[in-house]
Amino acid sequence: MIKIFRRNLSRRARRYARAEVFIVSIPKSGRTWLRVFLHAYFCQLRSREFTLDPKELFSRGDVPEFVFTHDAWSFLTARKLSDRITGKPLVPPGQARRKRILLLARDPRDVMVSLFFQLSKRTHRYGGELAAMIRDRKVGFARIVDVMNGWMKEWAGRENFKLVRYEDCRRSPEETFRQVLRFIGGSAIDEAALAHAVNFSSFENMKQLETSGKAKNKRLRPGNQDDPESYKVRRGRVGGFKEYLKAEDLQYVENAMKTLDRRFGYEATASEPATAGANVTSQGPESRLPGFL
């Protein structure tokens, strides 16, 4: 188990100090979807024009301030040494103890495939094959599992912690997002604003926003307009990893899945969430795969 010494000496720590809720996730776990939903909900609730700019959303002080962060993932995979030295991506220890933490999880097998397309088609940080990236010690499958296990071990069982799974959002978006709003706090839930935000953040509408450019935000912008795999809103399927992994790659990730903390509810032999107990994984020293640009 990788242990993270939490400290944040960067200027970002000031924003974290203002936050009331931290929304933590591995990249490609559905946080853009959740971000669009939350912004749509609070903009509708306050009769404002939709915006994905957090400064605009929180400027009046009438919306509980939430911060999205990849936390330990960004710390361990940081390209800048300064980010590691200052702990820039990390939720400070005091904030993690006192404030609410919502962990957004997704089946790591689907995360792995989606992350590959993110790094190879959108940010162009990776130039290798999926099979090689799966086995990379820095951003590969074992690292994903290890970071997820670390978060669960550190935070599970606290009153200020909530786990939300992407698959539950897909299965029951209205009820799952209602639970998210209750956890985040603020005023009583407005059902009309909730229905509006669920519809606005639907996969189809987000896809249309990205295709048309109406969102006016780099978070919803394709890497290549002509390449469907380069879109931020790409497929959003549960269990779609099966269409991309070769037999030997699937066997590799299934073996690693057996070490994932069972409280996440993901089984090694199925893409649908289950339920159960707990376990962790360990990982060797970091390496930099030649495919990374």
How far, in Å, CA of 174 to CA of 77, rounded? 34
The amino acid present at 176, given as its one-letter code, is T
Q: How confident is the model at residue 110 (pLDDT cuts 50, 70, 90)?
A: very high
CATH number of the domain that residue 75 is part of: 3.40.50.300
Total structural domains in the chain? 1
The side-by-side arrangement of strands in the sheet containing 21-25 is 66-69, 21-25, 100-105, 161-165
Q: For 72-87, how does the pLDDT look when each residue is reduced to its tens digit (9 = 90+)? A: 999 999 989 999 999 9
What is the structure's pLDDT at 124? 75
Residue 7 lies in a domain: no
Above 60 in pLDDT, residue 99? Answer: yes
- 276 lies in some domain: no
Note the helical H segments in 118-190: 130-134, 141-155, 166-171, 173-184
Q: What is the pLDDT of residues 199-253, one digit of tens each?
A: 998 877 876 766 655 545 555 554 445 444 444 444 557 788 888 899 999 999 9
Residue 147 is predicted with a pLDDT of 97
Given a cut of 90, whether residue 28 has pLDDT beyond it is yes
Q: Is residue 2 part of a domain?
A: no
Residue 151 within a domain: yes
Confidence category of residue 4, pLDDT binned at 50, 70, 90: confident
Average pLDDT over residues 52-68: 93
Backbone angles phi, psi at 103, to 5 degrees: -95, 115
Closest CA to 146 of 70, 251, 257, 254: 257
Q: Please report whether residue 277 resides in a domain.
A: no
Q: Could you tell me the pLDDT band of residue 283, with boundaries at 50, 70 and 90?
A: very low
Decide if 285 is inside a domain.
Answer: no
Residue in the structure block whose two tokens are 């269990």: 239
In this prediction the pTM is 0.83
176 is a domain residue = yes
Tell me the C-alpha distance between 29 and 26, whole Å.
6
Whether 39 shows a pLDDT value over 90: the answer reads yes
pLDDT at residue 277 greater than cutoff 70:
no
Domain that includes residue 136, residue range: 12-264
Has residue 284 been placed in a domain? no
Tally Cβ neighbours within 10 Å of residue 275: 9
Beta carbons within 8 Å of 227's beta carbon, 6+ residues apart: 121
Q: CA-to-CA distance for 119 and 176, rounded, in angstroms? A: 29
- The string of pLDDT tens digits covering residues 115-124 is 998 898 777 7
Buried b / exposed e over 82-93, threshold 16 CB at 10 Å, is: ebbebbbbbbbe
pLDDT at res. 118: 87
Residue type, 70: H
Alpha-carbon distance 153 to 143, whole Å? 15
